[in-house]
Structure 1
Amino acid sequence: MAGGISIPGVTDKYKTNDLVEALMETERIPLKREQEQLEKYQSQQDAWRDVNQRMSSLRESVRSLYSFENPFSNKLTTSSDEAAVTADASRDADYGSFKIDVVQPATADRFLSGNVDKNMRVEAGLYTFKTGDKTVSFNWKGGKLSDFVTALNKRGTNIIKANIIGVTSKQRALLVESLKPGEENRLIFQDAALDFAKQIDMVTETTGEGAARLSSDVSSYKTPAPVDSGDAQNGMPAITKSGVTSDGSTITIPPRGGIEIPIPEEARKMPDGKIEFTIDASDTDDITDEINSGMTVQMESPGQIDYKGVTVINAQNETTLTIELTEPLVPVEDERFVFLKNSDGSEEQLPDSSIIKGDAGHTRIVIALNDHPDAVSIIIRNNNTGKTLAMSVPETYDAEKGVGFKPNHPIATASDAIIKYEGITITRPTNDIDDVIPDITLHLHEKTDKTATITVNPDKESAKDALITFVGMYNQVVAEMNILTSNKPEIVTELDYLTDDERDKAMEKLGMFQGDFTLTNGKSQLQRIVSSNYNYGHDADITMLNQIGISTNASGRSTGYNASQLRGYLEIDEKTLDSQLEQNLGQIKDLFGFDTDGDLIIDNGIGYLLDKQLSAWTQTGGIISTKNSALKSRIDSSNSKITKLQSQLDDKEAELKSKYSTMESTLNSLESQQTTISNWANSFNNNRK
């Protein structure tokens, strides 16, 4: 017998592995059969998904042909001077033409600075820019001009824009422009922005008619009359102007300070009078801590009296008293600073529209005096015990007459658009005018040299494109149905628009559902809908799709047998289609969707019926959903069978290997015994000799 060592399960001296594998191949036949069935189910599921995708696309196409947004109602506008004026027409606009003269388009402020050093720095401060009712305000920490421009543009999106222009290798100019045209959107510089604009020779401050600053002299102010707020605390200092200071541009109001600033008579008489100022609130030591500690506090102002133009001011009380508090004072926080005093002595709080809040406690106040005809003074009342108010000196101006400065190097200044329509001169603050001609929006670009004519026509091209898209998607659905229900290769090869990969995939699906009449019946339903007659009115001339050049033989290429044409694909006679779109656009619209019972809801037509038919296929719980649901159940069942069969095969293979391993071990043992006996016999014979 052969020598060497044979280890069962490691060496394969007796070819038992081959024997086991041969036996397992037979055992695997049910598993392979089930795996092939699973692949078939999965391929069918993918095929139904493709059908669903094709039908969904077709459904969207046909819905667009009869819905409210159908292309047959689109309007197309043309202008005889498109460089000066163009227009958009809504679906409800009337056909026809009209004449427009653009006297001037609306413009926005565009201000250029003088020449500045390219390395100039912009000082720190609060920079505020306004245009119309929009405000851009930010605290700048100081830095290069380029960084300042970046910061401004970041915050001024759709409101204001700045650019640096290279004048020479060492000098630059700054361009600041409003992005909103119209006189009501003038560009206004405030706070540090105004100082900066004057510094770089962009603007010059002017007095202007009615423009003026109110007095910054604290002695001209009064202490506001006390107001019973209902939550007064015993021992809390009264509001007083004592401690209020002014450096000529900023009025500082300490905790529990207040002032009453009279509004000049001339400001109240302005046609469009405005008062503007800013207030910055900052934290300070809370005075209640000092009061609660028992320290002395100064008595309030003794007041004054006015009589016949003579003012008598009482002397300050020289006595210093210690206020005995029954309960500790509670700090007060109040964001209501500004009030208006009326001629009858009553007070009113400013509306939210007059209060523009910024960052870090910054507030801008804009008072439209026309909204407060009885106002005679402004009251600033700092009820807070731990905040100091820094207030700019109020400025008054007539919004109709200017904003207190003029540009030194204007590229353009804000102005309203002026047009003439039907002999009427019309002004608007914008270049997009939608309230002059019904359902028409005018877009002004520049002045017209002569009267421009705007014409509104039907948009036949968009209607044609929509019909071509519909035919293409319809044919793709029919092609998919043909491929799945027939095993003829020419069905695929005649589709010359397919790529090589698409053609290979189509060949794999060829005849997949040949015995399934669902698709065959569905195709017949689609063909019936597109070939039927639709009589939507007694005066209807276009009642069939073939009348507008769309049919299964629209090209007229053959009068004999043509298998391709019998497969149900639609063709387009473009010449006929163009002619019918030109002459019968409204009737083509009705062909795809019309109302039969007068309830203003479309309930018939090619588009409506195709949509209804396709919905039965593609909707949740529809035909395709049901098919895929059934396939999913089969796939799940098949996966379970495969798992079970695989487990059985693993057990069977382990059993066979165990048995053959035992057999190998037995054979090895017998072979070993035989070798031992042979060796003993040989030794015995040798000894006898």
Structure 2
Amino acid sequence: MSDIYVPGVTSRFDSDKLIENLMRVERIPKERIDKNVENLETQKTYWQDVGRRITTLRESARILYSFQNPFNDRIVRSSDELVITGTATREATQQERNFIVKQIAQADRFLSAPLEDSFRVEGGSYAFSLGGEEISFDFRGGSLREFTEAVNRQGRDKLRASLVTVEPGTKSLFLESLLTGETNRLGFSGDMETLAVKTGLAERISDSRRDIPLVQAALGEISGPQEAVSVGEDILRVAAGGGVSIPVDPGLRAGPGLVLAFETATKVIAPEDIPVPKPPPGPAIPDPPSVSYGGITIENDPSSVPIPQWKPPPPPVRRDNMAVLSLTFSDGTKAILPPIRDSEDFSAYQYRLSDIAGDKTINSMALVNDNTHRDISIRSIRVFDPDVQGGIKPKNPISLAQDAVVAMDGITVKRPINSIDDLIPGVNLTVRGPSDRPVKLGVEQDRESVKNAIFSLVGNYNRLMAEVNVLTRNDDRIIQELSYLSTEEQDELRKRLGSFAGDSTLNQFKQNLQRLAGSPYPTMAERDLSMFSQIGIGTDVRGAGAGSGYDPSRLRGYLEIDERVLDNALETKLQAIQQLFGNDTDGDLIVDSGIAYSLENISKPYVESGGIISLKTGTIDSRISQDQRRIETLDRQLAAKEAALKLQYGQMEGAYNRMEQMSTSLEQFSQRANNNNNR
């Protein structure tokens, strides 16, 4: 059926096929140029990949000697990360501290008694106090869930409420402050106070607060000079050498939960400001008598008393004693409070009375300043239960608001939050849990970060070296040696094998890389450390030797790492290693030597703007543009050629059709003539 000829539809001579065969020959030059463009595009991609590898190596090298190099990074190591941890900035100095975390900062978290699911909260005005801020809102009444949603809308980032299913059919209201610190206690007022008592969140209790007045009439026995003790504006001042008793009337029983609080300030007296005793004036001798006669007065010789030479007393021996406060109990025993600290500004102190007095009754408090160079002031002495807020005490507290209390090398500090960034310069501490035993916290150089940066440099060096070896050598063993590559990656590299075998640029770059990796560089410990191999990095650092036989892969320029040697060098010669990668040899504060510095410098001409890689790809782009213009010209010529062939074959078929029609007409005419003759 394919040979059936339909006039006007098919070609009698299969002209399209003849034209296509002729055009296939005509397209051969264009196809060659197309193939050349494709090869050029592939070469451009290879050069771009090499450029990216060089850029990556350059960046890895720059990291190891730039201003932000990892040698200046600091880390904080804790002997117990469940107690305290920390992070350090580059400004932190190397040091080691001992910490005792006495308590962590917490927020108030209260849980109500189990409530029926049908429990309704009455409408009213509900208010919460949190530190110095009040959160209040009007509630029209509704379920517990609606009430918690109202609390959360108003509380935002300070107060949160939720419901806890304790038993099927019951729920407990859970209120929690989101602000830690003893100054951020959660209190209730208005209808919230009534709801707290009703739901078992809190209970009413008598307020046990006692303020101990500091007025002259309330003072007890004074020891030492009377003028050493003075009172004014609720501040008791006791100069050096003085002492005073402060009665507690009536006596106060140190019940559980009670806290003794006060504030003290000190003024240290410089030795030159202490008055020096003057010599005594000596005895008073009356004027001698005289005799007058006839207007003549005769004076008697004045009396004389021999006075011994003045010897000033020796200066007092300096005495420093900060444990100046004590409590006296009804049974006659005493307890000395912990030492205060020097501060010209008033500093606050709080102690749980049960830890100091047990269940004894306190009769008085004494301030005995037996220091020789220090005046002490005290104010705001009070006893209170910190859990009681306006006569309301939480009934089922999950946690109570308190400050973090931390002792660093014996110095106790308090903070309202568990993140402390103002204790050690450049270090942010995080308190995580209390501990009775000291925890060591050390700030040291981040050797792991340095090690990772070195690994990254060596890895990028080897990947670049592998890329260059594949492009410049036509040896499949090069790919087989790269065992870390997947099968797909190896197949992709085989397409590039030997693509730039005759290119001197890459061969020279490879030689320069190998030279730099094996060259010595001056350091502060040049005899012990001046080469890559001395920190466990080289082409044969694992000591393959003759016993391992000939290994051609070790001649390709790849670097190996002996991690044991590197770890030891990082532990003992970190500063020298830093100079091995980047060193200022002339003292101008600019790095001018080192492996990383040299690698960055040798890479720069290749990948900088207008560099060697850019010139290579630019040249390829120019050749591609030229070939594309030739392709456009050939496309136009081929189109014209094809149109001409179609016209010629069309004319040929038209002429043939006319001849065929004429032949048919002649046959018909001859047939009619014969028919007429036969008649």
Compute the TM-score of the two structures, normalised by the length of structure 2.
Answer: 0.66
2:651 is the counterpart of 1:662:
yes
| AA in 1 matched with 2:485 | L
Separation in structure 1 between the aligned mates of residue 137 and residue 675 of structure 2, nearest angstrom? 117
- Cα distance, 1:21 vs structure 2: 0.6
Maintained 8 Å contact 1:540/1:587: no
Cα deviation, 1:255-290, whole Å, max 9, x if unaligned, reads xxxxxxxxxxxxxxxx99xxxxxxxxxxxxxxxxxx
Rounded to whole Å, the distance in 1 between the matches of 2:150 and 2:643 is 75
Residue of structure 2 equivalent to 1:45:
44
8 Å CA contact 1:112–1:410 kept in 2: the answer is yes
- SS in structure 2 at match of 1:183: coil
Alignment correspondent of 1:21: 20
Deviation at 1:547, TM superposition (A): 0.9
Q: 1:653 aligns with which of 629, 638, 642?
A: 642
Please give the per-residue CA displacement for 1:302-354, whole angstroms capped at 9, x wherever unaligned: xxxxxxxxxxxxxxxxxxxxxxxxxxxxxxxxxxxxxxxxxxxxxxxxxxxxx
Q: Among 660, 664, 668, which residue is 1:671 paired with?
A: 660
Amino acid at match of 1:435: D
CA contact (8 A) 2:128 2:187 kept: yes
- Larger mean CA deviation between 618-627 and 420-429 belongs to 618-627
SS at match of 1:506: helix
After superposition, the Cα gap between the structure-2 partners of 1:682 and 1:153, relative to the gap in structure 1 and judged at 3 Å, is farther
1:542 aligns with 2:499: no
SS at match of 2:23: helix
Structure 1 counterpart of 2:338: none
Q: Distance in 2 between matches of 1:185 and 1:32?
A: 82
Q: Is the 8 A contact 2:62 2:596 kept in 1?
A: yes
Q: Which structure has the greater CA radius of gyration? A: 2
Structure 1 residues 601, 136: CA separation in 2 closer, same or farther (over 3 Å shift)?
farther
The answer to whether the Cα contact below 8 Å between 1:134 and 1:159 also exists between their aligned partners in 2 is: no
TM-fit CA distance, 1:51: 1.8
* Equivalence for 1:7: 7
Aligned residue in 1 for 2:435: 448
In structure 2, the CA distance between the partners of 1:4 and 1:624, relative to structure 1 (3 Å rule), is closer
Deviation, structure 1 residue 24: 0.5
Match of 1:472 among 453, 459, 469: 459
State the partner residue of 1:100.
Answer: 99
Q: What residue is the counterpart of 1:423 in the other structure?
A: 410
Cα 1:86–1:7 shift into 2, 3 Å: same
Q: Is the 8 A contact 1:81 1:448 kept in 2?
A: no
Per-residue deviation at 1:196? 5.7
Once the two structures are TM-superposed, the CA of residue 569 in structure 1 deviates from its matched residue by 0.8
State the AA in 2 paired with 1:50: D
Contact 1:65–1:71, Cα closer than 8 Å, also in 2: yes
For 1:179-190, what aligned pairs fall within 5 Å after superposition?
A: 179-187=178-186
Using the TM superposition, give the Cα deviation of residue 128 of structure 1 relative to its aligned residue in structure 2, in angstroms: 6.7
1:667: Cα distance to partner? 0.8
Report the residue type matching 1:98 in the other structure: R
Q: Are residues 546 and 133 of structure 1, via their aligned partners in 2, closer, same or farther at CA, if it must alter by over 3 Å?
A: farther
Amino acid at match of 2:84: V
8 Å CA contact 1:529–1:610 kept in 2: the answer is yes
* Other-structure match for 2:31: 32
Partner of 1:215: none
**d(CA) in 2 for partners of 1:607, 1:55:** 13
Describe the SS at the equivalent of 1:453.
strand
One-letter code aligned to 1:86: T
- 2:79 corresponds to: 80
Change (3 A) 1:35 1:201: same
Q: Does 1:494 align with 2:493?
A: no
| Aligned-residue identity in percent | 40
Q: Is the 8 A contact 2:523 2:576 kept in 1?
A: no
Cα deviation, 1:479-531, whole Å, max 9, x if unaligned, reads 11122222222222221122222112211122222333222222223222222
Partners of 1:209 and 1:401 within 8 A in 2: no
After TM superposition, give the deviation of residue 580 of structure 1 in Å: 1.7
| 8 Å Cα contact 1:541/1:587 also seen in 2 | no
Match of 1:117 in 2: 116
Q: Unpaired runs of 5+ in structure 2?
A: 210-261, 264-383
- Contact 2:100–2:407 (8 Å) recurs in 1: yes
Which moved further from structure 2: 16-25 or 86-95? 86-95
Tell me whether 651-660 or 594-603 shows the greater mean CA deviation: 594-603
Deviation at 1:537, TM superposition (A): 3.2
Task: Quote how far apart the aligned CAs of 1:33 are.
Answer: 1.6
Matched, 1:482 2:469: yes
How many angstroms does 1:552 deviate by?
1.3
Summarize the Cα distance change of 1:675–1:558 in structure 2 as closer, same or farther, 3 Å threshold.
farther
Q: 1:23 to 1:496 in 2, by over 3 A?
A: same
Q: Higher mean Cα deviation, 442-451 or 181-190?
A: 181-190
- 1:635 aligns to 2:624 (yes or no): yes
Provide closer, same or farther for how the CA distance between residues 539 and 670 of structure 1 changes in structure 2, counting only shifts above 3 A: closer
Partner of 1:591: 580
Q: Which moved more, 1:86-95 or 1:476-485?
A: 86-95
State the AA in 1 paired with 2:176: E
**Partner Cα distance (2:182, 2:582) in 1:** 49
**CA RMSD for the aligned pairs?**
3.6
Cα displacement (A) at 1:634: 3.7
Secondary structure at the counterpart of residue 501 of structure 1: helix
1:516 alignment partner in structure 2 = 503
2:615 aligned residue: 626
Cα offset, 1:415, TM superposition = 0.7
d(CA) in 2 for partners of 1:628, 1:140: 73
Looking at structure 2, the residues matched to 532 and 494 of structure 1 have their Cα atoms a distance apart, in angstroms, of 26
Q: 411-420 or 51-60, which moves further after superposition? A: 51-60
- Equivalent residue, structure 2, for 1:234: none
- One-letter code of the match for 1:677? L
Task: Name the count of aligned residue pairs.
Answer: 502
The CA distance in 2 between the partners of 1:107 and 1:551, in whole Å, is 54
* Aligned-partner Cα distance in 2 for 1:14–1:122: 100
Q: Distance in 1 between matches of 2:154 and 2:50?
A: 51
**Residues 468 and 133 of structure 1: CA distance in aligned 2, closer, same or farther (over 3 Å):** farther
Query: 1:71: how far off?
Result: 3.2
Read off the aligned partner of 1:7 and give its amino acid letter. P
What is the aligned partner in structure 1 of residue 61 from structure 2? 62
Question: Helix, strand or coil for the counterpart of 1:631?
Answer: helix
Q: 1:451 and 1:445 mapped to 2: Cα distance?
A: 14
- Pairwise CA distance, 1:97: 3.5
Q: What is the distance in 1 between the residues matched to 2:22 and 2:457?
A: 59
Residue correspondence of structure 1 range 269-668 to structure 2 within 5 A: 404=390, 405-537=392-524, 541-559=528-546, 561-668=550-657
Q: Aligned-pair distance for 1:548? A: 0.9
Residue matched to 1:308: none
Deviations 1:534-583 (A, max 9, x none): 11336662111011111112222244654322221111122322222222
Instruction: Report if the CA contact (8 A) 2:50-2:464 is conserved.
Output: yes
In structure 2, what is the Cα distance between the partners aligned to 1:155 and 1:43?
64
2:345 maps to which residue? none
User: What are the superposed Cα offsets for residues 388-420 of structure 1, whole Å, 9 maximum, x if unpaired?
Assistant: xxxxxxxxxx9x998645433221111111122
Amino acid at match of 1:170: G
In 2, the alpha carbon distance for the partners of 1:119 and 1:609 equals 78
Q: 1:461 to 1:538 in 2, by over 3 A?
A: closer
Specify the SS of the correspondent of 1:509. Answer: coil
Q: Over residues 439-467 of structure 1, what are the superposed CA-to-partner deviations in whole Å (9 max), with x where a residue is unaligned?
A: 44332222213222334454433333322
> What is the SS of the residue equivalent to 2:424?
coil
Residues 185, 401 of structure 2: 8 Å contact kept: yes
Q: Deviations over 1:67-111 (max 9, x none)?
A: 344333444544333322233344454545332211111111112
Please state how far the C-alpha of 1:475 moved relative to its aligned partner: 0.3
Amino acid at match of 1:684: A
The one-letter amino acid of 1:18's match is K
Quote the offset at 1:4 in angstroms: 7.6
CA contact (8 A) 2:387 2:394 kept: no
